[in-house]
Structure 1
Amino acid sequence: MKFSDDIEKLLPLGYIFLVIMGILKDSFFYYQLGINILKYSTIMDILMSPIAEFTSNPIILTAIILLFGLHYYLPSLLLKYNNIKFIQKAFELKPTEGLSINETKSYFNSIAIKSLAIFLCSFFLGYGVAGGYFTSKKIKNDKIKYNYKLNYNSGESEEIYLINTNSLYYFYISKGSKTIEIAPLASIKNIELTDNKMLGLNSIK
């Protein structure tokens, strides 16, 4: 049995797993900011959450691609190097003597899938808990940077620290306030990035 065969069988369940991880990540992140994110999310936000997270940063995207690539070839690597004690301890491998070649491959496939699930679970939950904690801490200690300008349909504008967005809302803090505000996208004309460093430009003197 090839690893690709197992992937095809588990692909629907795998995406459901990623969606659940995305929900937990967002829930842990926004809970620490006092927001029940599910009340402000659409079904599309929930379904696209894993993909949005993976593509939010080039470094994260590269790491995820490498992670999936490594685990795709992991069964064949385990089959080749399973006699090494470090490999046995790292993946908690059981003896495969007495198993047929197909049973051995299937066993290593399951180890690879389990390892990938653990890595992804650690990524999403760690990202959510740590991200929410450090964001809330920055807000409390007033160490946030107001690097966006929000322009309303009414003609009013204000400098903000943008926490995040989804398909319906902006989550932000206005300059001079520590209260998190939630504004519908329909009420916003546009948003401007005002931090020259983030834009890669030199400030004009």
Structure 2
Amino acid sequence: MKISDDIQKLLPFGYLFLVIMGIVKECFFHYQLGINILKYSTIMDILISPIATFTSNPIVLIFILSLFIFHYNLPSLIAKYRDRKFIIRTFELKNIKGLSPAETKSYFNSIAIKTLAVILCSFFFGYGLAGGYGTSKKIREHKEKYNYKINYSSGESEEIFLINTNSLYYFYTAKGSKTIKITPLGAVKSIELIDNKMVNKGLFLYNTSL
């Protein structure tokens, strides 16, 4: 499957766009928890943030893959059905009479890329806002699920609600407390998943990323 020249040229900018969206999503999510996540992140955390988001849940991964596949084929679909009123209204198509085949192809590619960008923006903004709000509400109302047990290097341990992790820190609340703790990985000996729904109940779509 040959990738068009227009898309090839935009691939580096596309990944930069995803990285920026990943940063925005993380900032929106953690801001609602009172955390400036950029202070606790490395360059690697920032670079892999969109990939981490895409792979956080099988449903999200399937949705994103379907989204990219659909928009890869969107230019040819628009070209095929460009005379239909629904397509004209949806994508606000202009009159392509007088355009060369190459210009027409480039025009349809630009529509697909812009549409994909808008959907991805909505996805990242919504994911960050909804995720942060939902997590803060759980903590505020003491509705967290303490699925993890953290064992410190000092020998102490406690059950926790794990909010997030990155390459340097764990973000969590201890059982019975609303206080969000940020602990360096070096201070932790091990972390146990004590309520593993994937193993215990076979819930394939259960999200263990948080």
TM-score range, shorter chain: over 0.9
In the TM superposition, what are the counterparts of 1:145-164 in structure 2 within 5 Å? Answer: 145-164=145-164
TM-score between both structures, scaled by the size of structure 1: 0.94
Using the TM superposition, give the Cα deviation of residue 196 of structure 1 relative to its aligned residue in structure 2, in angstroms.
4.4
Using the TM superposition, give the Cα deviation of residue 4 of structure 1 relative to its aligned residue in structure 2, in angstroms.
2.1
Give me the whole-angstrom Cα distance separating, in 2, the residues matched to 1:88 and 1:140. 47
Deviations 1:24-71 (A, max 9, x none): 000000000000000000000001111111111111111111111111
Higher mean displacement: 85-94 or 125-134: 85-94
Give me the whole-angstrom Cα distance separating, in 1, the residues matched to 2:194 and 2:113. 44
% identical aligned pairs = 72
Indicate if the aligned counterparts of 1:3 and 1:75 stay in contact, CA closer than 8 A: no
Using the TM superposition, give the Cα deviation of residue 142 of structure 1 relative to its aligned residue in structure 2, in angstroms.
1.0
Give me the whole-angstrom Cα distance separating, in 1, the residues matched to 2:131 and 2:151. 27
Higher mean displacement: 83-92 or 10-19: 83-92
In the TM superposition, what are the counterparts of 1:1-205 in structure 2 within 5 Å? Answer: 4-201=4-201
Q: Which amino acid aligns with 1:95?
A: N
Which 4+ residue blocks in structure 1 deviate beyond 6 angstroms? Answer: none
Q: Which amino acid aligns with 1:166?
A: N
Q: Which amino acid aligns with 1:65?
A: L
SS at match of 1:48: helix
Give me the whole-angstrom Cα distance separating, in 2, the residues matched to 1:134 and 1:40. 22
Indicate if the aligned counterparts of 1:149 and 1:192 stay in contact, CA closer than 8 A: yes
Higher mean displacement: 71-80 or 99-108: 99-108
The alpha-carbon distance between structure 1 residues 3 and 96, as it changes in their structure 2 partners (threshold 3 A), is: farther
Higher mean displacement: 97-106 or 126-135: 97-106
Using the TM superposition, give the Cα deviation of residue 173 of structure 1 relative to its aligned residue in structure 2, in angstroms.
0.3
Where structure 1 has 5 or more consecutive residues not aligned to the other structure, the ranges are none
Give me the whole-angstrom Cα distance separating, in 2, the residues matched to 1:189 and 1:126. 35
Using the TM superposition, give the Cα deviation of residue 197 of structure 1 relative to its aligned residue in structure 2, in angstroms.
2.9
Higher mean displacement: 88-97 or 29-38: 88-97
Where structure 2 has 5 or more consecutive residues not aligned to the other structure, the ranges are 203-210
Indicate if the aligned counterparts of 2:54 and 2:61 stay in contact, CA closer than 8 A: yes
Give me the whole-angstrom Cα distance separating, in 2, the residues matched to 1:75 and 1:196. 44
Using the TM superposition, give the Cα deviation of residue 172 of structure 1 relative to its aligned residue in structure 2, in angstroms.
0.2
Indicate if the aligned counterparts of 2:147 and 2:193 stay in contact, CA closer than 8 A: yes
TM-score between both structures, scaled by the size of structure 2: 0.92
Give me the whole-angstrom Cα distance separating, in 2, the residues matched to 1:183 and 1:198. 26
Give me the whole-angstrom Cα distance separating, in 1, the residues matched to 2:76 and 2:22. 30
Deviations 1:157-186 (A, max 9, x none): 000000010000000000010010000001
Using the TM superposition, give the Cα deviation of residue 3 of structure 1 relative to its aligned residue in structure 2, in angstroms.
5.7
Give me the whole-angstrom Cα distance separating, in 2, the residues matched to 1:113 and 1:197. 38
Number of residue-to-residue matches in the alignment: 201
Using the TM superposition, give the Cα deviation of residue 155 of structure 1 relative to its aligned residue in structure 2, in angstroms.
0.9
